[in-house]
């Protein structure tokens, strides 16, 4: 995939941990390694992401610090509730998949043969859980970087007794590049991606020509790409970008009616009451 411009400074991160860390051997890094072992024992879902990659401040990174590109997210330090933490402890080991540079085998991952839908940025996971419950014959891989969101979706998985969701806590772009086989997905959901309102931040928007072109290589022929946004200017950009992608065709004439499987979220209902619009776009790979 064409790399976008570096948004994270040019130097590679010096503080990578794990056995291959060249600085292991110094007293400080040995202490740090011991601390991380205990920390990740207590927080298994964090340990599952990318084999403990951290920045200089010891913060877990959900992207490869050596791959320089503009990211569509910022890593926020939101509070993890006790219910979310419990869900991470109890259900994380069964439903979270560690990020690694190795292609997934869906048959092994879900223990069945079924079509697989990939979701980028599930937020707090309400929509993901509702759809997975309504469509039990499909597999869902949800990707999100935000730890409270991972905990919230795991909690819903537990409450609803869902079996057809797997979670990867990592940059979805890297997950697609390194874990998702070509021509393997039956659908991709991108619901309310961060709109990056300010003009100078719009380069961070996910739906841009190089990314969409790359995303199409992961879709099977006939598979769909469903995007939704409540930001008109982003909806227009999505429509332009998706229309211009030769591997895709629009299933509607312009914006699509909201497909029944996508529930209207609380946030969306509030927006609609205030007169704001929501735009769905459903394209198919030719
Ligand atoms: C505005 S929220 C929308 C959440 C959810 N889809 C919804 O409809 O409520 C966008 C989410 O996408 C996540 N996100 C953005 N870029 C991502 C990426 N490259 N990989 C994984 N998650 C990402 C953010 O962390 C954030 O939680």
Ramachandran angles phi, psi of 231, nearest 5° = -115, 110
50 or 102, which is more confident: 102
Give the residue whose CA is nearest to atom 23 of ligand 1. Answer: 121
CA distance 137 to 140: 10
Catalytic residues: 194
CA distance 13 to 55: 6
194 lines ligand 1 (CB under 6 A): yes
Q: What is the mean pLDDT of the chain?
A: 86
CA distance 194 to 175: 18
Expressed in angstroms and rounded, the spacing between residue 145 Cα and the centre of ligand 1 is 8
Sign of the C-alpha dihedral computed for residues 25, 31, 32 and 33 taken in this order: positive
Mention every residue, 6+ apart, whose C-beta is less than 8 A from residue 229.
192, 193, 195, 235, 238, 278, 279
176 lines ligand 1 (CB under 6 A): no
Task: Give the pLDDT score at 74.
Answer: 87
Choose one of 121, 132, 266 to mutate for the ligand 1 pocket test, by most ligand atoms within 8 angstroms of C-beta.
121
Do the beta carbons of residue 50 and residue 34 sit within 8 Å? no
Domains of the chain: which residue ranges?
Answer: 27-285
118 lines ligand 1 (CB under 6 A): no
List, for residues 175-188, the tens digit of each pLDDT value. Answer: 999 999 999 999 99
Task: Give the pLDDT score at 18.
Answer: 26
For the beta carbon of residue 128, count every other beta carbon within 10 angstroms. 27
73 lines ligand 1 (CB under 6 A): yes
122 lines ligand 1 (CB under 6 A): yes
β-partners of residue 204 are none
Short-list 160, 205, 13, 148, CA closest to 140: 160
Give the residue whose CA is nearest to atom 14 of ligand 1. Answer: 121
Tell me the whole-structure pTM to 2 decimals.
0.84
List, for residues 232-268, the tens digit of each pLDDT value. Answer: 999 999 999 999 999 999 999 999 999 999 999 888 8
**CATH architecture of the domain covering 27-285:** 3-Layer(aba) Sandwich (3.40)
CA distance 153 to 130: 10
129 lines ligand 1 (CB under 6 A): no
The residue-averaged pLDDT of 2-15 equals: 30
The residue-averaged pLDDT of 55-77 equals: 83
Expressed in angstroms and rounded, the spacing between residue 122 Cα and the centre of ligand 1 is 6
Question: Is 57's pLDDT higher than 80?
Answer: no
Coil, strand or helix: which one is 79?
coil
Specify the ligand 1 atom closest to the Cα of 72.
16
Task: Give the pLDDT score at 24.
Answer: 39
End-to-end CA distance of the chain: 20
Give the residue whose CA is nearest to atom 12 of ligand 1. Answer: 121
Task: Give the pLDDT score at 67.
Answer: 86
CA distance 42 to 92: 12
Expressed in angstroms and rounded, the spacing between residue 251 Cα and the centre of ligand 1 is 24
121 lines ligand 1 (CB under 6 A): yes
Question: Is 44's pLDDT higher than 70?
Answer: no
Expressed in angstroms and rounded, the spacing between residue 230 Cα and the centre of ligand 1 is 14
62 lines ligand 1 (CB under 6 A): no
């Amino acid at each position: 995939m064409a790399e976008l411009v570096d948004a994270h400074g040019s130097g590679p991160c010096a503080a990578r941990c794990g056995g291959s860390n060249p600085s292991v051997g110094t007293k400080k890094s040995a202490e740090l390694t011991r601390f991380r072992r205990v920390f990740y024992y207590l927080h298994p879902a964090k340990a599952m992401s990318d084999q403990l990659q951290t920045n200089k401040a010891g913060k877990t990174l959900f992207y490869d610090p050596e791959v320089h590109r503009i990211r569509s997210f910022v890593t926020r330090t939101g509070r993890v509730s006790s219910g979310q933490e419990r869900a991470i402890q109890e259900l994380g080991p069964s439903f979270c998949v560690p990020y690694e540079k190795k292609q997934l085998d869906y048959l092994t991952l879900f223990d069945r043969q079924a079509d697989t839908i990939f979701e980028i940025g599930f937020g707090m996971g309400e929509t993901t859980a509702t759809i997975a419950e309504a469509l039990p014959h499909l597999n869902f891989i949800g990707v999100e970087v935000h730890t409270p969101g991972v905990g919230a979706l795991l909690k819903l998985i537990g409450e609803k007794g869902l079996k057809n969701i797997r979670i990867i806590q990592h940059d979805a772009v890297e997950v697609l590049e390194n874990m998702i086989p070509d021509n393997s997905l039956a659908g991709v959901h991108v619901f309310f991606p961060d709109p990056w309102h300010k003009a100078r931040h719009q380069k961070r928007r996910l739906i841009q020509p190089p990314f969409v072109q790359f995303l199409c290589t992961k879709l099977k022929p006939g598979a769909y790409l469903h995007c939704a946004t409540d930001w008109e200017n982003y909806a227009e950009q999505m429509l332009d970008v998706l229309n211009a992608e030769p591997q895709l065709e629009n299933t509607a004439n312009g914006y699509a009616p909201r497909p029944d499987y996508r529930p209207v979220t609380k946030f969306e209902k509030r927006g609609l009451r205030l007169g704001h619009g929501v735009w769905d776009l459903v394209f198919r790979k030719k």
